[in-house]
Amino acid sequence: MWETGLLLVMGLVLLMAGGELLVRGAVQAATRLGVSPLVIGLTLVGFGTSMPELVTSVQAGLSGAPGIAYGNIVGSNIANILLIAGISALLCPILVARSALRRDAAVMLGVAAAFAAVAAVVPMGRLVGFAMVAALVGYIGFVIRQERHSTAHGALHDKGQALSEADPNLTPSAAPVGRSLVVSLLIALLGLVLVVVGGATLVKGAVALARGFDVSETVIGLTIVAVGTSMPELVTSVIAALKRQGDVAFGNVVGSNIYNILGIGGTTALIAPSDLPPEILGFDAPLMVAVSALFVFFAATGLRIGRREGALLLAGYGAYAWSLWP
């Protein structure tokens, strides 16, 4: 069993290290190519914390393990709200910007509901995947246009800011002046290799763990894999909370959940089409919609999520995890 644990740890370490190198190299290369800091922040940096989920879900899908692939996506979204937002609110009440609530939180809730409804009716095939990715591209384009003409920032901006706060080297203006485009691309390539290897290792360890404990791969995907790949969100949200930047923590959770469903779910469906496991369809996907609605409700009442709500969210995650394990 220790070999399985080693695989899981190695996979997570490679995913985190590779994800950081990939985003850092891509940010530096984009800066060299003259891409605006706003676009870099909303795309490359914003997507950075979701890279472990993306690679892990795609690898799981290609390995014939849809329970891990979609369990990772749905479980990550549940963990982002109940676990990560709960911990962040306990450390520092989360302040909610009206712009993020009206636009991004509403989109997060709508996307979660649409995902659960569509998956219950049709398989997660390439057409569905293409529609999801196209929706994400359209949403990012819409956000970029709005951000350019407004001083009020939304969730995607806050998600990118949260990662930049955790690692200043990911700030576009912080790209080393003396580093060439070729070196930046090589750093990104090295990061990509590490992420791919880490994803494959994590999936292998997760499958072995499920067999060793005689539990379904879906349960492993919803819990251990989902929480493991959500570590970047946890770290960046906790840092934001400790710096009394509760609004950034809110945007980080909301932005991550939108990316997870449209970007990761869509890409996984495009590359490895499959049906959503019945366990997720019947319980976890509806629960994801319910906790998303609860999170939006908490945020809308007084434009803050206090320590009391944070404790309720955290207790909810404990109850959810307990209900999954036999």
pLDDT in tens, 9-22: 888 888 888 877 87
DSSP-derived 3-state class of residue 124: strand
Q: Which residue's structure tokens are 């709005």?
A: 146
Nearest to 76 by CA among 231, 307, 275: 231
- CA-based nearest residue to 51, from 236, 223, 321: 236
- Res 144: pLDDT: 81
Cα dihedral 33, 39, 43, 46, rounded to 10, equals: 120
Give 300 or 250, the one with higher predicted confidence. 300
pLDDT in tens, 149-180: 666 555 565 565 655 555 666 555 544 545 67
Distance separating alpha carbons of residues 258 and 139, to the nearest angstrom: 10
Count Cβ atoms below 10 Å from residue 325 Cβ, excluding itself: 9
Task: For residue range 282-321, list pLDDT tens digits in order.
Answer: 999 999 999 999 999 999 988 889 999 999 999 999 999 9
Architecture of domain 2-324: Up-down Bundle (1.20)
Q: What is the pLDDT of residues 69-102, one digit of tens each?
A: 999 999 999 999 999 999 989 988 888 878 778 8
